[in-house]
Amino acid sequence: MVAPAARKSRQARVVWGDRVVTVGGDAPVRIQSMTNTDTVDVIETAIQVKELAQAGSEMVRITVNTPEAAAAVPYVREQLDRMGENVPLVGDFHYNGHRLLTEFPDCAKALSKYRINPGNVGKGDKKDKQFGQMIEAAMQYDKAVRIGVNWGSLDQELLAELMDENSRRAVPWDGRQVMYEALITSAISSARRAEEMGLNGDQIILSCKVSGVQDLVAVYRGLSARCDYALHLGLTEAGMGTKGTVASAAALSILLQDGIGDTIRVSLTPQPGEARTQEVVVASEILQAMGMRSFVPSVTACPGCGRTTSTTFQELARDIDQHLRSQMPVWRVKYPGVEKMKVAVMGCIVNGPGESKHADIGISLPGNGESPAAPVFIDGEKAMTLRGDRIAQEFHEIVQAYVER
Ligand code: SF4
């Protein structure tokens, strides 16, 4: 699989202790996520950050919305450090970030990156000053920033200016184009302003989030053509379940295929009882499906049809998939490269042997009316045929032996 050529961006460094997460440049596309706990609840927040990090989130954003939350941030960091979790924390600031970063220096130090929303950093004369205070904190403590514009909280003064300008055009743009321009202008002009204040441009990451797939594609194509800052991609408020997953995958894949995007977040609304980590799993699957990164061995399985009247192959595919995923924390360290392994579990001999040959290990379970035999292919060659009631167990053992070898 050939990964698309990436747009050349600057490289930011998001650092905590020995852990350096590079974003942009030649770094792989990074995965990030955000907690939904009240940051004041230090233990709950630290536990969720750790869960997200263990699921594969390489940076975790937490809400910093009140003095109490800002005061809690160093304790969240301390808890994580005690748990041996060094994932960098990103502070999500809106409205009062300038005050919180100035009045709570321990919070400013404990975070590795600040998310600044130029749409609500302040109005009129105060805007520049308050934005400047956040940039000064980033410079003082040597932190990266994400200038994150969102069309739900777009700078209204800028939008009004652009609409006014548009009304004087011979052929005015439509409302959507004006909105795109406002998002892009807000992000880029804020970044340039931060650089003028002295912040190293490499340490600036930009995002312009919207909730429609076509809008996101249009905005990021425009944004990427007009600057070389590292870009954070995400379909904001993507929604729940299948809708949110599919919309995020569609939007992010189009842009990633164009080489646009240095870090991604899938903003899923968890369904009741659904783990917050699901958004990290979806983000990882998008990058893996695109051939850009590998996180877990992939299991290819056919959908099954009238040729398979039992669910044996589906159960085997599910069990193998779960087993491989559960082993990864240990295997990743013990068997480097194991995440690139491909396993095929197929329902009959129609496509089974062919698909198995393309995998590192593949098995075709006997379909309806076929002889009760399951050919196994290893590295493209037929290695054996399994028979009897222990086919699933024996295949598990073969996979295990392959990994160890
Ligand atoms: Fe049906 Fe066999 Fe194709 Fe699976 S491999 S979908 S069982 S024909």
Q: Which of 5, 7, 1 is nearest to 227 (CA)?
A: 7
Residue whose CA lies nearest to ligand 1 atom number 5: 351
| CA atoms of 200 and 194, how far apart (whole Å) | 8
Instruction: Please indicate whether residue 308, judged by its CB atom, sits closer than 6 Å to ligand 1.
Output: yes
> Can you tell me which atom of ligand 1 is nearest the CA of 308?
7
Establish whether residue 307 lines the binding site of ligand 1, counting it when its CB lies within 6 angstroms of any ligand atom: yes
Protein residue with least CA distance to atom 8, ligand 1: 350
**352 C-beta closer than 6 A to ligand 1:** yes
Pairing of strands 19-24, 30-34: unpaired
Going by C-alpha positions, the residue among 355, 346, 361 that lies closest to residue 314 is 346
Coil vs helix vs strand at 387: strand
How far is ligand 1, taken at its centre, from the CA of residue 349, in Å?
A: 7
Residue 145 makes CB contacts below 8 A (sequence gap 6+) with 113, 114, 115, 116, 134, 135, 138, 194, 199, 203, 204, 205
Tell me the HSE value of 399 on the side-chain side, using a 13 A CA sphere: 29
pLDDT confidence of residue 7 = 87
Question: What is each CA distance from 229 to 9, 326, 392, in whole angstroms?
Answer: 6, 37, 50
C-alpha triplet 110, 19, 339: angle, nearest 5°: 135
Give me the pLDDT at residue 5, please: 65
Which residue CA neighbors atom 2 of ligand 1 most closely? 348
Measure the CA dihedral 49/52/54/57, to 10°: -110
Is the model's pTM score more than 0.95? Answer: no
| Coil, strand or helix at 231 | strand
Pairing of strands 361-364, 373-378: antiparallel
Atom of ligand 1 nearest to the CA of 347: 7
Torsion of CA 33, 192, 224, 97, to 10 degrees: 20
Diameter over CA atoms, the chain? 80
Instruction: Write out the DSSP string of 115-126.
Output: EE-TTSS--HHH
Question: Where are any strands of DSSP class E within 17-168?
Answer: 19-24, 30-34, 59-63, 89-93, 113-116, 144-150
Cα(165)–Cα(132) distance, integer angstroms:
27
Q: In what order do the strands lie in the sheet with 342-346?
A: 298-301, 342-346, 361-364, 373-378, 381-387
Contact by Cβ (8 Å): 282, 274? no
Q: What is the mean pLDDT of each run of 10 residues along the chain (405 residues)?
A: 74 98 98 97 97 95 98 98 98 97 98 96 89 98 97 90 94 93 96 97 97 96 97 89 93 97 94 85 95 94 87 89 90 93 93 94 89 93 93 93 92
| Helix pair 156-167, 175-196: axis angle to 10 deg | 120
Ligand 1 centre distance from Cα of residue 350 (Å):
6
Rounded to the nearest whole angstrom, what is the distance from the C-alpha of residue 354 to the centroid of ligand 1?
Answer: 11
What helix, strand, coil percent values describe the chain, rounded to 5? 45, 20, 35
pLDDT of residue 3: 58
Ligand 1 close to Cβ of residue 302 (< 6 A): yes
CB of residue 348 inside a 6 A radius of ligand 1: yes
Distance 66 CA to ligand 1 centre (A): 56
